[in-house]
Amino acid sequence: MAKTGIGDRAGEVFAALAAAGQATRPQLAVACGLSKPTVSLVMAELETAGLAEHSGTSAGATGRTAAVYRLGPRAGYVLAVDRGSTQVALRATRLDGELLDEDHTSRPADAAAMVEAVLRRGKTRGPLRAVVVAVSDVVSPPGRGDPAIMARVRDAVASLGLPDGAAVHTENNVNCAALAELAEGAGAAHDSFVFLQVGVGIGAGIVLGGQLVRGASGAAGEVARLAYPWAADRTPVPEGLEAQLGSRALLQRARSRWPGQAAADPAPGSRALLQRARTDPAPRTAAALFALAEKGHPVAAELVAEHAEAVGNLAASICAVVDPGLVVLGGGVGRNRLLLPGVVATVGRLSWPTEVVVSELGARATVLGAAHLARERGIRAVVTEG
């Protein structure tokens, strides 16, 4: 069978140009370890294919000018979609990372219309090289997945109305967030770290030696499956830890304790707050609970402190297995900074020195990571398919 694509050297130069955004032939020669004449021939090939084009000139230290190149119109673009259960976000980017389009909706039922609008606006951007869809389920290699989970993943992708023939890839949402941290977040300066997501559910994205760890079945980091509770008189139940650490359980504990637990002899300055704890309605969201804790509400503050310790226990357990050196807290609950001191204290008490920080990428982490993965897939598609 005849080989397709643009050739090894052209592919290497194309990938270097995509990584740089724009570059001269001498710069590409250095980046790829090729001679200048070879790069000149390769660039002529890429220009003819519409995969590269001139974008101007650059003056060197000696006063000589060099042509500057960027990706051409045939390089195309990629699409990243965070297909959450309560929201959908997407980003369309060039293969060099330039943002072309983005959108989001809190109504997953509207996701297909949103995707269609972005693709319609993208008709002048060249071919759609790759789509990466981040899902909340485990994404397993062929032959190793749970049929029910695989069906859910297929349904999640089908709900987006992607065009027939599109090169669609799926990845776990927490893994995508970890890739974003590796590329442009707290993990960028670290060889190894763990992204620990705490929200409605819990999960971990594990990066060791600069590589995402997926595991034999794609389930590495599925910390919801840790044996819990683990005690002599109690039997662990499937996903029992997520039932304890998820935001639904946190709010349920808040509702059960909200009438107030007055101290036997409260300090004079706290009596008004304790009285308010008895009369205010229980918070209906984790954000509302943390907002009350920040204002000094005693029951809310107590619940947040307990939750921080529980998350710290989980982080310390992860550290005992992979020794990441860094734990990045994310997710709707995990990235709240009120949680950080308690997690840091608990990890410090139970584990060896491990830095714990809050993600700066926020709710965008998953779609950003999916976009980085889509770019990798898109560049590979150009190299192998031309």
Q: What was the pLDDT predicted at 203?
A: 97
Count CB-CB contacts under 10 A for residue 92.
25
List, in order, residues 6 or more apart from 84 with CB less than 8 Å away: 108, 136, 173, 366
Q: What b-and-e string marks burial along 282-312, b requiring 16 or more CB atoms within 10 Å of the CB?
A: bbeebeebbebbeeebbbbbebbbebbebbb
Q: What was the pLDDT predicted at 160?
A: 96
Looking at the chain, list the stretches that DSSP marks H as alpha helix, in order from N- to C-terminal side: 8-20, 25-32, 36-48, 111-121, 147-158, 173-184, 240-245, 247-257, 271-279, 286-294, 298-322, 331-334, 340-350, 365-385
If the chain, 386 residues long, is cut into consecutive pieces of 10 residues, what is the mean pLDDT of each piece? 68 96 95 95 94 84 80 96 93 96 94 94 92 96 91 95 95 98 96 96 97 96 94 90 95 87 47 58 95 95 97 97 97 96 98 96 96 97 85
Domains and CATH numbers, the chain: 8-74 (1.10.10.10), 76-177+365-385 (3.30.420.40), 193-360 (3.30.420.40)
Q: What was the pLDDT predicted at 264?
A: 40
**Tokens representing 350?**
């139970």
Q: What was the pLDDT predicted at 55?
A: 85
Q: What's the whole-model pTM score?
A: 0.89
Q: What was the pLDDT predicted at 63?
A: 60
Q: How far apart are CA 257 and CA 272, in angstroms?
A: 18
Among candidate residues 58, 76, 77, 59, the one with its CA nearest the CA of residue 68: 58
In total, the chain counts a number of residues equal to 386
Q: What was the pLDDT predicted at 64?
A: 76
List, in order, residues 6 or more apart from 48 with CB less than 8 Å away: none
Q: What was the pLDDT predicted at 274?
A: 55
Q: What was the pLDDT predicted at 2?
A: 42
C-beta separation of 107 from 93 below 8 A: no
